[in-house]
Amino acid sequence: MKKLNALFVALGMLTSAHALAQGTLRYGLESQYPPFESRNAQGELEGFDIELGKAICQVGNFDCKWVESSFDALIPALQAKKFDAINSAMNITEARAKSIDFTKPIYRIPTMLIVKEGEKLQPTAESLKGKNIGVLQGSIQETYAKKHWEAQGVTVTSYQDQNQVYNDMVAGRLDGTLVMSAAGQSGFLDKPQGKGFAFAGKPVEDDTILGSGIGFGLRKGDTRLKQELDAAITKVQSDGTVTKLAAKFFPGIDVSASK
């Protein structure tokens, strides 16, 4: 059995090496999470992660391809070799690291609660008891809310699309959402739909669940690709590309991966 598992790992690495030898890097993403990734009126992919991915492909000499999936299906799809790397604002966490590998952290975004203005709610179980909070299915925000809030009387409702969460908040079916602050700001609060809503309190903290930053997810044992991507990531961090993209998409938010 051990020999068979080793063979599978070796075959997986050879498959990736072959893909990279051909110059193609297939990114997997969930495209309904602005400003990280979404489609514009022309149907083209846009956002922070899209431009970041292109920049990394440029310095790493890859030909970028994009494969879409729901967020909660990204890890299974990666393992099934439908693409080579997850590039979809995925935080590096201990739980995910049991299933996949990651590149070095590229950037970090705080997680915050959005509620109606004037509700005087705070991101604590005590304050949210009896309330219904929407989260993105498969996200670290879902994991955090279920661990810290659900057992103490807070209803946590999961959605496959964060935009559905916003729609239900406006319709009054939800009392708030726990979301990465940059996504909540540009994807909701900055839009007409978000009028009358605001961030509540400070960012929530739990490094075990919320992770050490956002990186690209890779298949276990894909050492060559990790080395090549880590080198490219270091370049776009040191040459100021990540900082420039953050200023464009997340003005006022410090996205540095190190605390």
- For the domain that residue 156 is a member of, what is the CATH number? 3.40.190.10
| 165 within 8 A of 71, measured Cβ to Cβ | no
pTM of the model: 0.77
94 with 139, same domain? no
Does 83 reside within a domain?
yes
Domain of 101 in residue numbering reads as: 23-108+212-250
221 with 186, same domain? no
The predicted-structure confidence for 61-97, as pLDDT tens digits, reads as follows 999 999 999 999 999 999 999 999 999 999 999 999 9
115 with 181, same domain? yes
Does 95 reside within a domain?
yes
Token pair 């009358």 in the structure block, residue: 196
Closest CA to 93 of 206, 220, 222, 223: 206
Q: Hey, what are 131's tokens?
A: 């309330």
120 with 184, same domain? yes
Q: Which residues contact 61 (CB under 8 A, 6 or more apart)?
A: 23
The three-class DSSP label of residue 93 is coil
pLDDT grade for 258, boundaries at 50, 70 and 90: low
The predicted-structure confidence for 229-252, as pLDDT tens digits, reads as follows 999 999 999 999 999 999 999 888
The predicted-structure confidence for 122-166, as pLDDT tens digits, reads as follows 999 999 999 999 999 999 999 999 999 999 999 999 999 999 999
User: What mean pLDDT, rounded, does the chain reach?
Assistant: 91
